[in-house]
Amino acid sequence: MVALITGASSGIGYSTALAFSKAGVKVAIGARRTDKLKKLENEIHQSGGEVLSQKLDVTQKSESISFVKTIIKKWETIDVLINNAGVAPLSFLNHLKIDEWDQMIDVNIKGVLYCTAAVLPYMIEKKSGHIVNLSSVAGRIVFPSGSVYCATKHAIVAFSEGLRKELSPKFNIKVTCIEPGVVATGLINTISDESLKRFVENTKKLNSLKPEDVAKVILFAVEAPSHMNVNELMVRPTTQEV
């Protein structure tokens, strides 16, 4: 089995690459930060796994296509796509951080679309595959300061269901949407809105999920029997209220 994991340089992507490699999966890892990718690549090699790494900015359609072609050339297949890359610079709308809105739309929505489009022809041709999209609890619940971020994650929930209806019955391609609650990653450090400083500090104090917790959930969905498609999984820290 070959899995392509985006946003693999840290957090959920990093942990998922390790979990899949330990399960015997060949992993293709992509992210913008090549130094972090190299560290992950070395870690996988040292544990005896097979890995291919390449710089990947999911907002660039050409880079997504290029990476997929490199994987096909090396391993002749892509069985699993994990659309993990995402950003979350939360802010209140009246602060008009429009560049950050654009960034969330480009990474969280367009990045998923571009990577999905790059792998689809190969999965359709062989009539098998599994696409895993990382949404969030924010894909179901909207909160102040999260309006744009929540909108991007709601979009992923809708896109995942549309993919399932179009691809699963006709082409035997599974689709899973993962919706984690608060996870201890560096994502929250991208928030630049000063009025959210206390929110950031309080969030860091939560007994959050660990990236490896979410990695186990993703692996569970992918390892499901061939006749079963785990369509949607929401996981929260036990103490998270919202």
pLDDT of residue 170: 97
Specify the CATH architecture of the domain 2-235: 3-Layer(aba) Sandwich (3.40)
What predicted TM-score, i.e. pTM, was given to this entire model? 0.94
Question: 222 in the Ramachandran plot: left (φ > 0), alpha (ψ -120 to 50) or beta?
Answer: alpha
What is the rounded distance in angstroms from the CA atom of residue 152 to the CA atom of residue 26? 30
pLDDT of residue 188: 78
Catalytic residues, by residue number, are 149
Q: What is the dihedral of CA 181, 232, 219, 82, to 10 degrees?
A: -90
Q: What is the dihedral of CA 14, 18, 19, 21, to 10 degrees?
A: 130
Residue 130 has pLDDT above 90, yes or no: yes
Report CA-CA distances (Å) from 125 to 78, 118, 121, 133, 170: 11, 13, 6, 21, 12
Contact 213, 110 (CB under 8 A): no
Give tens-digit pLDDT for 59-96. 999 999 999 999 999 999 999 999 999 999 999 999 99
**Can you give the residue ranges of every domain in the chain?**
2-235
Specify the amino acid at residue 155.
A
pLDDT of residue 186: 79
